[in-house]
């Protein structure tokens, strides 16, 4: 059992095997818990009899009392182990198994001790003790047969020695010889039965493992076959659909265009059939993955309507569509699988309907705050389904009512795949059918809402007609760009080259991985389009060699996987292998242009503007792919960061407001520190600072999300007066992709947290992971300031007025430190200005081993260059930082602390 658990919980074990073992262990622990409770109850009853009716045991009261007490103690120990030990089931089960072994050994030892005294004093063995041994040893069922044999032999030898040497008179006792013989026989039978049962279990397990290996080998062979078949079918289909797209780009007649559209629709349906066969293999082998991605709901529905419009028209059927205006415009789910489900159900409806109509209705029902249930209803006026055939509707390879449907083509795979995919996606499907009147499939799939936009009132057929025969317009030109296309099929090379012809990109072709590596030694290519399934050297292997090729000119080139392996799990696979992009065959020309445009250097791309200022061809994706990055980092103007760092890390700033008698100014943008101090000190002007309001925050976040998909906004500590944290948190509720984090600091202490956020974002971490790490990082930031006068702190409410007056009368200089987000008076210095500054620097930088030396902010208010030089020299005497920034505090910070203030802000290790 121990080895079984070890193998089941190792890193290579499958999740389903681990789950099975966990269930077995939990069931065993539950049953043994009940067993020990029953044992405790029974032993308590026997112990009560021993105590209150000792006459029943005829002088054996002490002996049996100790035995029952021992059983109760062992039962309690095992129960405590089951109930109170750790949560890891394999650790708990292992400890429990060890405890059971100790319990069995303890009972065996106690039985041998009692037997010794029984034989030595009474010359006989109590039969009850023999039965205890017979029962005790089999409790070690989880041990190996060898361990059982050792215990069995030890017990037998022990009894034999006791019988031999304990008392001479026992040797002639026939009763004892009979008891002893009975004991050996019973124990032998129990042990033999145990060993035989274990042997049978081991044999059955070995047979199961062999069968499992055979099945896995068969499934792998089947998957390879289907994968190869998919590749072989997609290759000619890629040529057909690709050349067909080239035809549609030309100036052709309406009749030819209609025929070409029908060819495209037929090609897509053929690909869907290939996908069904491949996906059934994945589903049966447990390799299907559901990978949610953001998609445009109307784009997917329009594509599906386009596919079936020609089919229904050719059969003389009416194709009706109705989409709820409340359907979210953007959803997050595995749209590839949703599309596959709808195509299979619609294809089934069209196939079995000879006259009348087929309809697709899409509705939406709110479930949770960010989740909706999208309900797709597919109805037809076909032949319907008999009640007795309903149980077989979703069975693979089985077609219901074969006799009446023999003229209707089909594989019997579609609905089986629909049911299995829905099970994996947490969706449901219900069927309502009346024989002779038609059938309605209702499919419900939970999906995540992205944003608050809805599709509104739209005629999907009108949308289709507006897109029908839409004039192709190239998205961009890049005559200086060089692209290498790698594919072992000449037709695929030809199609890819023709699809890129209008972009004027310089194209070179390679028919193998080896030829691609050779080409990479001759010239640099900005983008490489790489097929994967090639003989001799796959695309993945070629990529890995390309990245490490000695003398190669394309080690950093962008590489797009162009493969017949379709599906979201394939995209994920190629991303993990190091590819920069992914396109499934057959290649869609627009998708190919989008992917290449995204990866080309911006300096090589030429876009054309129409007279109204829009991009030629109205290709919105050009602008969106250029301007919207994955994550933006923003903060408040009081974060006190140098302009060079703000520009380097592309940090957006939300400006605080400074209120004066002369008007309202944006912090640092419309008024600087020196101007504010001059206004306050020399002119005696009144002023105060204020964070932006709710509407200003909302407008700021909306603008940020126009350039990024996600936003992390970092605020100064909520516990600081006039902090914008609470307002920012309230404003963020209107957006799904904005996260607010309290840095628990102010000034450049907040700036340090912002810089760490930028570093994590550049490392490619997700927004949630960045926030998680920043929550830990902010605890390591040290923020403290020495203030020349407490009057400013009192004026803004940071210190009580009475305290400020006392400090002022004593010419004291307070040191303010951020602790758990609060401004704390940590020390007061009664020294001259320079002496106090020196003391502050020495005490702050005293523990050198705890200071991260990469960066130090000296943030100040109203200091001269001479005073800054003094601070710099004092800092350098104690520690050498890699980078020291002398940062002038923002006006909003300056109004709270006054001139003569500076702080040391750094990260602790």
Query: Would you list the DSSP string of 221-268?
Result: HHHHHHHHHHHHHHHHHHHHHHHHHHHHHS---HHHHHHHHHHHHHHH
Is 293 in the same domain as 386? yes
Burial class of residue 498, CB neighbours in 10 A (0-12, 13-18, 19+): middle
Higher pLDDT: 848 or 897? It is 848
What is the pLDDT confidence band of residue 461, given thresholds at 50, 70 and 90? Answer: low
Is 778 in the same domain as 725? yes
* Residue 82 domain-assigned (yes or no): yes
Is 380 in the same domain as 448? yes
SS3 call for 783: strand
* Residue 222 domain-assigned (yes or no): no
Q: Order of strands across the sheet with 657-660?
A: 663-666, 657-660, 687-690
Is 500 in the same domain as 530? yes
* Residue 876 domain-assigned (yes or no): yes
Whether 883 contacts 842, CB under 8 Å:
no
Q: What is the mean pLDDT of residues 427-431?
A: 86
Give the H/E segment covering residue 295: strand 293-296
Find tokens 């963020």 and name the residue.
732
Predicted local confidence at residue 784, as pLDDT = 94
- Write out pLDDT tens, residues 520-577: 998 999 999 999 888 889 999 999 999 888 888 998 899 999 887 665 567 778 888 8
Per-residue HEC secondary structure of 694-753 comes to HHHHHHHHHHHHHHEEEEEEEECCCCCCCCCHHHHHHHHCCCCCEEEEECCCCCHHHHHH
Q: What is the CA radius of gyration of the chain?
A: 40
**φ, ψ (nearest 5 deg) of residue 636:** -95, 160
Whether 739 contacts 732, CB under 8 Å:
yes
Q: What is the mean pLDDT of residues 783-795?
A: 80
Is 343 in the same domain as 431? yes
Sign of the CA dihedral with 43 first, then 44, 50, and 56 last: negative
Looking at the structure of the chain, the number of domains it has is 4
Strands (DSSP E) along 596-718, which ranges? 629-636, 652-654, 657-660, 663-666, 687-690, 708-715
Helix axes 174-249, 490-499, angle to 10 degrees: 50
Predicted local confidence at residue 184, as pLDDT = 61
Q: Choose one of 597, 621, 645: the last residue of a domain.
A: 621
Higher pLDDT: 109 or 158? It is 109
DSSP state of 503: G
* Residue 296 domain-assigned (yes or no): yes
Higher pLDDT: 734 or 198? It is 734
Mean pLDDT, the chain, as a whole number? 76
Is 541 in the same domain as 668? no
> What are the CA-CA distances from residue 147 to residues 29, 142, 191, 226, 849 (Å)?
22, 10, 11, 49, 56
The encoded tokens of residue 531 equal 């097929």
CATH number of the domain enclosing 403: 3.30.565.10
Is 681 in the same domain as 729? yes
SS3 call for 361: strand
What is the pLDDT confidence band of residue 421, given thresholds at 50, 70 and 90? Answer: confident
Predicted local confidence at residue 11, as pLDDT = 40
Predicted local confidence at residue 840, as pLDDT = 94
Q: Choose one of 600, 621, 642: the last residue of a domain.
A: 621
SS3 call for 29: helix
Q: Could you give the CA distance from residue 705 to residue 220 in angstroms, rounded to a whole number?
A: 45
Q: Could you give the CA distance from residue 68 to residue 65 in angstroms, rounded to a whole number?
A: 5
Q: Choose one of 596, 621, 646: the last residue of a domain.
A: 621
Is 659 in the same domain as 787? yes
* Residue 284 domain-assigned (yes or no): no
- Most confident range (mean pLDDT) of 174-178, 281-285, 864-868 is 864-868
Q: Could you give the CA distance from residue 894 to residue 747 in angstroms, rounded to a whole number?
A: 10
- Most confident range (mean pLDDT) of 586-595, 794-803, 830-839 is 830-839
Question: 245-282 burial by CB neighbour count: b if 16+ within 10 A, else e?
Answer: beebbeeeeeeebeebbebbbbbbebbbbbbbbbbbbb
Sign of the CA dihedral with 153 first, then 155, 156, and 160 last: positive
Cβ neighbours for 293, distance < 8 A, ≥ 6 positions apart: 332, 333, 334, 335, 568
Predicted local confidence at residue 180, as pLDDT = 56
> What are the CA-CA distances from residue 223 to residues 325, 375, 535, 758, 870 (Å)?
42, 33, 18, 44, 74
Query: Would you list the DSSP string of 585-603?
Result: SSPPHHHHHHHHHHHS-GG
Burial class of residue 453, CB neighbours in 10 A (0-12, 13-18, 19+): exposed
Higher pLDDT: 115 or 163? It is 115
Other CB atoms within a 10 A radius of the CB of residue 889 amount to: 25
Checking if the pLDDT of 155 tops 70, the result is no
CATH number of the domain enclosing 520: 3.40.50.2300
Predicted local confidence at residue 187, as pLDDT = 59
Planar angle of CA 612, 613, 617, nearest 5 degrees = 85
What is the pLDDT confidence band of residue 763, given thresholds at 50, 70 and 90? Answer: confident
Give the H/E segment covering residue 420: helix 414-425
Q: What is the mean pLDDT of residues 423-428?
A: 88
SS3 call for 116: helix
What is the pLDDT confidence band of residue 788, given thresholds at 50, 70 and 90? Answer: confident
Predicted local confidence at residue 3, as pLDDT = 44
Checking if the pLDDT of 612 tops 50, the result is no
Predicted local confidence at residue 566, as pLDDT = 61
Is 108 in the same domain as 46? yes
Is 33 in the same domain as 100? yes
Higher pLDDT: 177 or 208? It is 208
Q: What is the mean pLDDT of residues 426-435?
A: 80
Q: Could you give the CA distance from residue 748 to residue 641 in angstroms, rounded to a whole number?
A: 6
Is 615 in the same domain as 647? no
- The distance between the two most distant Cα atoms of the chain, rounded to a whole number of Å, is 123
Predicted local confidence at residue 153, as pLDDT = 62
SS3 call for 429: strand
- Write out pLDDT tens, residues 8-50: 444 444 444 555 556 556 665 666 666 667 666 766 776 676 6
Nearest to 894 by CA among 553, 626, 656: 656
Whether 502 contacts 471, CB under 8 Å:
no
Cβ neighbours for 434, distance < 8 A, ≥ 6 positions apart: 384
- Write out pLDDT tens, residues 847-893: 888 999 999 999 998 888 899 999 999 999 999 999 999 998 888 78
Nearest to 888 by CA among 909, 874, 902, 906: 902
User: What domain range is 23 assigned to?
Assistant: 2-172
Is 563 in the same domain as 690? no
Q: Could you give the CA distance from residue 366 to residue 699 in angstroms, rounded to a whole number?
A: 27
* Residue 217 domain-assigned (yes or no): no
Distance of alpha carbon 725 from the chain centroid: 28
Whether 527 contacts 494, CB under 8 Å:
no
Sign of the CA dihedral with 801 first, then 803, 804, and 808 last: positive
What is the pLDDT confidence band of residue 806, given thresholds at 50, 70 and 90? Answer: confident
Predicted local confidence at residue 854, as pLDDT = 92
Distance of alpha carbon 12 from the chain centroid: 20
Predicted local confidence at residue 170, as pLDDT = 44
Q: Could you give the CA distance from residue 630 to residue 889 in angstroms, rounded to a whole number?
A: 31
Distance of alpha carbon 183 from the chain centroid: 61
* Residue 841 domain-assigned (yes or no): yes
Cβ neighbours for 482, distance < 8 A, ≥ 6 positions apart: 505, 506, 508, 523, 524, 525, 526
Lowest-confidence range among 478-487, 575-584, 771-780? Answer: 575-584
Checking if the pLDDT of 412 tops 60, the result is no
Predicted local confidence at residue 550, as pLDDT = 87
Q: Could you give the CA distance from residue 734 to residue 698 in angstroms, rounded to a whole number?
A: 8
Other CB atoms within a 10 A radius of the CB of residue 386 amount to: 12
Lowest-confidence range among 137-151, 259-273, 294-308, 739-753? Answer: 137-151
The encoded tokens of residue 511 equal 């028919």
Q: What is the mean pLDDT of residues 251-274?
A: 72
* Residue 226 domain-assigned (yes or no): no
- Write out pLDDT tens, residues 89-128: 556 666 666 666 676 667 667 666 766 666 655 555 555 5
Predicted local confidence at residue 907, as pLDDT = 94
Q: What is the mean pLDDT of residues 771-790?
A: 91
What is the pLDDT confidence band of residue 617, given thresholds at 50, 70 and 90? Answer: very low
Predicted local confidence at residue 526, as pLDDT = 94
Q: Could you give the CA distance from residue 93 to residue 82 in angstroms, rounded to a whole number?
A: 8
Q: Could you give the CA distance from residue 790 to residue 800 in angstroms, rounded to a whole number?
A: 10
């Amino acid at each position: 059992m121990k080895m079984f658990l070890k193998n089941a919980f190792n890193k290579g074990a499958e999740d389903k095997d681990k789950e099975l073992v966990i269930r077995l262990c939990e069931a065993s622990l539950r049953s043994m818990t009940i067993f020990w409770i029953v044992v405790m109850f029974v032993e308590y009853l026997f112990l009560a009899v021993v105590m209150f009716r000792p006459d029943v045991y005829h002088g054996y009261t002490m002996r049996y009392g100790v035995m029952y007490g021992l059983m109760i103690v062992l039962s309690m120990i095992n129960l405590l182990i089951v109930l109170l030990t750790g949560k890891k089931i394999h650790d708990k089960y292992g400890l429990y198994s060890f405890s059971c072994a100790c319990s069995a050994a303890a009972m065996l030892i106690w039985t041998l001790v009692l037997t010794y005294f029984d034989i030595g004093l009474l010359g006989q063995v109590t039969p009850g003790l023999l039965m205890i041994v017979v029962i005790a040893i089999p409790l070690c069922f989880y041990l190996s047969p060898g361990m059982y044999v050792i215990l069995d032999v030890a017990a037998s030898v022990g009894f034999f020695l006791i019988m031999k040497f304990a008392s001479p008179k026992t040797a002639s006792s026939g009763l004892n010889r009979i008891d002893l013989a009975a004991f050996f026989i019973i124990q032998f039978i129990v042990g033999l039965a145990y060993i035989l049962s274990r042997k049978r279990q081991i044999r059955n397990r070995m047979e199961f493992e062999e069968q499992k290996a055979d099945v896995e080998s068969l499934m792998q062979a089947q998957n390879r076959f289907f994968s190869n078949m998919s590749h072989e079918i997609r290759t000619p289909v890629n040529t057909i659909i690709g050349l067909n797209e080239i035809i549609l780009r030309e100036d052709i007649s309406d009749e030819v265009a209609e025929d070409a559209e029908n060819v495209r629709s037929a090609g897509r349906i053929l690909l869907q059939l290939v996908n069904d066969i491949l996906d059934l293999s994945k589903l049966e082998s447990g390799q299907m993955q559901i990978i949610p991605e953001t998609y445009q709901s109307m784009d997917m529905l329009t594509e599906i309507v386009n596919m079936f419009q020609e089919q229904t028209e050719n059969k003389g059927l009416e194709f009706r569509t109705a989409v709820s205006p409340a359907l979210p415009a953007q959803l997050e789910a595995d749209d590839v699988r949703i599309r596959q489900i709808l195509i299979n159900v619609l294809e089934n409806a069209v196939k079995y309907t000879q006259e009348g109509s087929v309809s697709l209705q899409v509705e939406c029902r709110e479930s949770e705050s960010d989740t909706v249930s999208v309900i797709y209803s597919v109805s037809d006026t076909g032949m319907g389904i008999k009640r007795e055939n309903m149980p077989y509707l979703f069975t693979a390879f089985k077609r219901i009512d074969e006799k009446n449907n023999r003229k209707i083509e089909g594989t019997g795979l579609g609905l089986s795949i629909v049911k299995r995919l829905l099970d994996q996606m947490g969706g449901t499907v219900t069927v309502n059918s009346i024989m002779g009147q038609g059938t309605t499939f209702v499919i419900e799939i939970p999906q995540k809402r992205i944003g608050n936009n809805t599709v509104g009132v739209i005629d999907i057929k009108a949308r289709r007609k507006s897109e029908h025969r839409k004039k192709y317009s190239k998205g961009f030109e890049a005559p200086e760009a060089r692209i290498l296309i790698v594919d072992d099929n000449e037709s695929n090379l030809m199609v890819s080259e023709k699809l890129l012809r209008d972009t004027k990109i310089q194209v070179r072709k390679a028919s193998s991985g080896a030829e691609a590596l050779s080409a990479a030694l001759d010239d640099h290519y900005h983008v490489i389009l790489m097929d994967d399934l090639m003989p001799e050297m796959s695309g993945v292997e070629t990529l890995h060699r390309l990245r490490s090729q000695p003398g190669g000119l394309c080690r950093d080139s962008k590489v797009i996987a162009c493969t017949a392996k379709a599906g979201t799990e394939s995209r994920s696979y190629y991303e993990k292998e190091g590819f920069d992009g992914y396109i499934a065959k057959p290649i869609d020309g627009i998708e190919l242009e989008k992917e290449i445009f995204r990866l080309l250097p911006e300096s090589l791309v030429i876009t054309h503007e129409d007279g109204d200022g829009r991009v030629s061809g109205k290709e919105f994706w050009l602008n969106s792919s250029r301007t919207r990055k994955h994550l933006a980092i923003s903060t408040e103007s009081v974060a006190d960061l140098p302009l060079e760092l703000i520009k380097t890390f592309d940090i957006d700033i939300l400006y605080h407001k400074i209120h004066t008698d002369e008007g309202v100014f944006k912090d640092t943008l419309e008024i600087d520190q020196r101007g504010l101090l001059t206004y306050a000190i020399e002119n005696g002007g009144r002023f105060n600072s204020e964070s932006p309001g709710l509407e200003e925050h909302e407008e700021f976040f909306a603008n940020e999300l126009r350039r990024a998909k996600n936003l992390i906004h970092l605020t100064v500590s909520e516990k600081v007066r006039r902090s914008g944290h609470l307002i920012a948190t309230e404003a963020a509720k209107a957006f799904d992709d904005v996260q607010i984090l309290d840095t628990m600091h102010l000034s450049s202490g907040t700036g340090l947290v912002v810089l760490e956020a930028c570093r994590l974002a550049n490392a490619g971490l997700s927004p949630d992971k960045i926030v998680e790490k920043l929550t830990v990082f902010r605890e390591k930031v040290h923020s403290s300031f020495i203030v020349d006068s407490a009057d400013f702190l009192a004026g803004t409410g940071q210190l009580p007025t009475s305290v400020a007056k006392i400090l002022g009368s004593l010419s004291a200089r307070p040191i303010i430190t951020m602790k758990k987000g609060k401004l704390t008076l940590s020390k007061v210095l009664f020294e001259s200005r320079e002496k106090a500054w020196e003391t502050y620097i020495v005490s702050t930088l005293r523990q050198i081993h705890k200071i991260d030396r990469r960066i130090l902010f000296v943030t100040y208010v109203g200091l001269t260059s001479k005073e800054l030089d003094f601070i710099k020299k004092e800092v350098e005497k104690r520690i050498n930082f890699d980078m020291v920034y002398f940062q002038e505090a923002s006006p909003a910070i300056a109004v709270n602390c006054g001139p003569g203030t500076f702080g040391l802000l750094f990260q602790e290790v």
